[in-house]
Amino acid sequence: MWGGKGVPAIAAVVAVLCVASAVPCVLGAKDLVKQLSNGFTATHAAGGTAPFEPVLYAPNGVFALGFLRVGSASLDLAVVHLPSSFPLWRATPARLGDWSHAAKLTFDSSLVLTDPDGGVLWQTLDTIGDTAVLHNSSNLVVRRYGRDDPSWQSFDTPSDTLVLDQNFTISTPPLISGNRRFALRLGKTYMALQMEFYGGRATPTYWRHTALEAQPQNATEPPVYGRLDARGFFGLYLEGGSQKVDTLSFDTFVQNLTGVFRRMTLDDDGNLRAYYWADGAKDWTSDYKAIAERCELPTSCGAYGLCVPGSAQCQCLDNSTSGTSPPCHTDEAADLCAGAGQQMEFDVVRRKRVSVAYKEELPSETNKTADECKQACAGNCSCWGAVFNGASGYCYLIDFPVETLVYEADDRKVGYFKVRKLPSPTRPGISAAVPAVLTLVLAGAAAAGVYIGYRMWERRKRKRAGMEQELVPGPYKDLKPMGSSNNSFKA
């Protein structure tokens, strides 16, 4: 995850760019490109060695827009905070480019990122502009001549980070963590952290903050919006004005800390954190986190993991493994519904002394017994687990793949969890050898059968010949009693 650290070696990079109609050169500080005009083109060279290739700079030289290497092999377009190498904004197209292949950024009324075949990876939709600039706030803006309002700006389409004075509204796309597993969304009177399952089709909430002075019962009251303030807080205001209805205070709120740059990021562990960067700093300083304890994070111990508060030690629900990060089970990407209300096959794990840190956000039923709670989940293919509190009679249903549970020393708190059955593993080479081995076994069995059959036939023939020699003088009726006493005649 990005967290509080950036990609090393980005800050000092000033790349040699292929700019249309320009002579390639190494740019000095006074020659940094600070505005793009129609007809601009910049090309990412296939397999570039630098993790970031800037093409546009803010006037203060602190921020730059350019090609960013994501992971080991992917390419994205990003606005980077150069002193820390941290990407404050990413285009995050549905299909990332390939860093080992060429890519092109053009500006001709709109910004367009294309792959080597001319396929569009990302673009500013429905945009008509004459210039593109990067402000000292890190806001990337496309603007028309003679117009004050932007045709498009990156502040309206955040990725996983908000910066100073950037409005986060109910109509703004949610913040999505870099690993695409978590989201921060804004409701009319609240902000919520949610898990992302099935490509965003299921978004269970695990943290919610409601504006203290908002009035959800007032249908005519405008919704809230959020904004990061330089004084060290995240404020919630009523849209259409500056009336503040709530404040999330940071650690530095009472210190009157000035001259720092702040950001709020949804990190890859699902926590919402605020950081600040001071002049001359070597790293970001954490200033706020929405969730204080590790065991309260939704996936701190992974799928079917159990987090023990205090030590934050991880175990597995089925007691198969223990450690700081046990591979209890693989993360699920699909549900248990097989169609027509049928369920796929699953195993069951039962465990005492378990709970869910965010149970207030889960669907629940009351006045249930432990068995009734289990049955409510067992027959429902959309239910992955149920947690029952014997003290209160509450039954909490988990309608998404089971993630980290929390240990609580109370035998009345019990859990029932479904684990999808996986195909039996086959060792390499076994599947190809089975037919040959089976053929040899069958051939051997057939040969043995023929030999045994021949020996039995020969034995019976000899016995029958002996009997016929003894019985020749007597009548046929004398065979009956002998047949009833000799099994050789029953063959």
Measured between alpha carbons, how far is 361 from 383 in angstroms, rounded to an integer?
A: 15
Residue 480 lies in a domain: no
Residues 409, 332 within the same domain = yes
Residue 487 lies in a domain: no
Residue-range definition of the domain harbouring residue 72:
1-157
The last residue of one of the domains, among 292, 323, 345, is 292
Taking only the tens of pLDDT, the chain with its 491 residues reads: 344 444 444 544 443 333 333 333 334 455 789 999 999 999 999 988 999 999 999 999 999 999 999 999 999 999 999 999 999 999 999 899 999 999 999 999 999 999 999 999 999 988 999 999 999 999 999 999 988 899 999 999 999 999 999 999 999 999 999 999 999 999 999 999 999 998 888 999 999 999 988 777 777 789 999 999 999 999 999 998 889 999 999 999 989 888 899 999 999 999 999 999 998 899 999 999 999 999 999 999 999 999 999 887 899 998 765 554 557 888 888 889 987 778 899 999 999 999 999 999 999 999 889 999 999 999 899 999 999 999 999 999 999 999 999 999 999 999 999 999 876 655 554 444 445 444 554 555 555 555 555 555 555 545 444 433 333 333 323 323 333 333 332 33
Q: E strands within 31-119?
A: 36-37, 40-44, 52-57, 63-70, 74-81, 86-90, 97-98, 103-107, 111-114
319 Cβ contact list (under 8 Å, min separation 6): none
Residues 221, 148 within the same domain = no
Closest C-alpha to 90, from 157, 174, 34: 157
Residue 473 lies in a domain: no
Residue 435 lies in a domain: no
Tokens 């200033």 belong to residue: 287
Residue 465 lies in a domain: no
The last residue of one of the domains, among 118, 140, 157, is 157
Residues 97, 152 within the same domain = yes
Measured between alpha carbons, how far is 224 from 214 in angstroms, rounded to an integer?
A: 8
Measured between alpha carbons, how far is 86 from 80 in angstroms, rounded to an integer?
A: 5
Residues 188, 263 within the same domain = yes
Residue 1 pLDDT: 38
Residues 288, 182 within the same domain = yes
Residues 250, 356 within the same domain = no
Measured between alpha carbons, how far is 132 from 154 in angstroms, rounded to an integer?
A: 11
Residues 18, 81 within the same domain = yes
The two three-digit tokens of residue 376, written as one number: 């409510």
Residues 348, 248 within the same domain = no
* Residue 333, domain CATH: 3.50.4.10
Residues 263, 287 within the same domain = yes
Residue 430 lies in a domain: no
The last residue of one of the domains, among 420, 455, 485, is 420
* Residue 108, domain CATH: 2.90.10.10
Measured between alpha carbons, how far is 455 from 448 in angstroms, rounded to an integer?
A: 11
The two three-digit tokens of residue 421, written as one number: 């059955």
Measured between alpha carbons, how far is 67 from 352 in angstroms, rounded to an integer?
A: 51
Residue 464 lies in a domain: no
The two three-digit tokens of residue 86, written as one number: 């941290």
Residue 14 lies in a domain: yes
pTM: 0.80
Residues 146, 167 within the same domain = no
How many independent structural domains does the chain possess?
Answer: 3
Residues 243, 391 within the same domain = no
Residues 7, 110 within the same domain = yes
